[in-house]
Structures are given as C-alpha cells and as structure tokens.
Amino acid sequence: VWKVAAETAPALAERILARAAERLGREPATLAIAPGGIVKRHSNSGELLLSFAALAEGLDPEKLPFAATSFEFPKSDHFEGNARMIFAFGVALARVAVSRITGQVRVLDLSQHTAAGPILDLAAYLGQIEGGGLQGVGFTLTEHAAMQDGRYVTANLDTYMMPSIADAPKSVATYALEDLDPGDPFGPRGAGELGIGAVTPAIANAVADATGVWPHAAPFDAERLLDALGAAA
C-alpha cells in the first residue's frame, strides 16, 4: 500500500516560476521551466537565467517542493507446496523525446525505484534493475516478434531488433528503499521483475504527456504515432 503526498505538477510549476520571477525581477509570464532551471520564454538559446539549485538555496526549507511516501508490505502465510506469496514494489519514471518527423521515441532518462528490503549483492541488484530497464526499453520500442499463419516471421536478430548501447537512455538512476516493517518474517524480496514491470507504462505515460497521443500496443509503432500526431495537429 503506497501513500504519496505531493504538489500537483501545474501548481508546482506555477510556484517555481513565481519564485524565480521574484529573484530575477521579471514577470512570471516571461519565464519558462527547462532542464536544469529557468529560461526566458520563447528563447531558443537554452541559456539558464537561474538554476534550480540557485533557486532552492534562496528558499525557506519549509517552502521547498516536497514529496512524502510510506508503504507496508502485504503479508501472507501461504506456503503450500512450492508456492510463496511475497510482495515487493517498484516504480519507474521516464523522460522521452518524440520526433515529429519520424515518430520515433527516444528514452532520455530512466529512473527506477524499488522497495524489496535490504540489498544483499549490489552488483547483482544493479544488474537486475538496470538490465531489466534496458530490456523494458527494447520491449517497448523495438522488439517485435511478428507471426503469420501461426509461425514466427521474425526468425533471428536481423529482424528482431534488440536494443543496443545506442538505444540506452542517456541517464539511468536506480534507488532502493531497503526498509522492512518491524518483525517482518520474510526478509529481502526478489527484485528481478521490478526492473522491467513498470518501464513500458512509464514510457507510454511520457509519450502521452509529450504528444497527447497514447500508444496502445508495444512495441510502439512509429508510423502510427506519426499519423496520430498529424491527425491531432
């Protein structure tokens, strides 16, 4: 059970711009939020007028943007045969770029958060989560096993496009919440599936946020996405 408390994105953006306008002596309507900080609205220079770090330094700690979360692991005493009902949690956040010329989607940033108890082997944990993340990118954007008359048309890797290092996100971040409930009898959970389960929905959400078009099947069809963009325009 996850409980999250945070400002809505529009309200947070409005407050950030208002604070930045005070610092810069400008009207909020002349400013915009960009990666890394505040820029002049409608400017193509990309020059930051004020970084987020500089803006935060001038704020009262109680007025900083916030997010708080708490969770409880569901419990089960079902141990019949080889069955084990043990629960873990994972969240993925993605930032994407969508080409208005080709319809291709590029994952720029992928952030993955897990709550599966204490990490026993850091290298194995990162291998599962980061490897699963890239596997999820491939499943979402490039890997397609086409079938015809009950047989696979995709026979080998010249047509089944697995992601390469060139398809990896520009930045990948992994965060682990290692706390367990007091008296938890199960200990660390398996984290393998957490690396891939939320990646496709995160990328789909980002594409919809950027374009207003929801992909309905994976891998995302660039031509169909481009047609939808054209129809929306």
- CATH 3.30.365.10 range(s) for the chain read 74-233
* pLDDT average, residue stretch 204-211: 92
Question: How confident is the model over 153-206, as pLDDT tens digits?
Answer: 888 888 888 899 999 999 999 999 998 888 887 788 888 889 999 999 999 999
Mean pLDDT of 21-44: 91
57, pLDDT greater than 50: yes
- In CATH, the architecture of 74-233 is 2-Layer Sandwich (3.30)
Altogether, the residues listed in the chain come to a count of: 233
* Residues 169 and 110 sit within 8 Å (Cβ to Cβ): yes
Query: In whole numbers, what is the pLDDT of the chain averaged over residues?
Result: 86
- pLDDT grade, residue 39 (50/70/90)? very high
What's the pLDDT at 142?
Answer: 92
Q: Cis omega before residue 219 (within 30°)?
A: yes
pTM: 0.69
What pLDDT, in 10s, does the model give residues 108-132? 999 999 999 999 999 999 999 999 9
Compute the average pLDDT of residues 36-55: 89
Q: How far apart are CA 35 and CA 184, in angstroms?
A: 41
Separation of CA 199 from chain center: 7
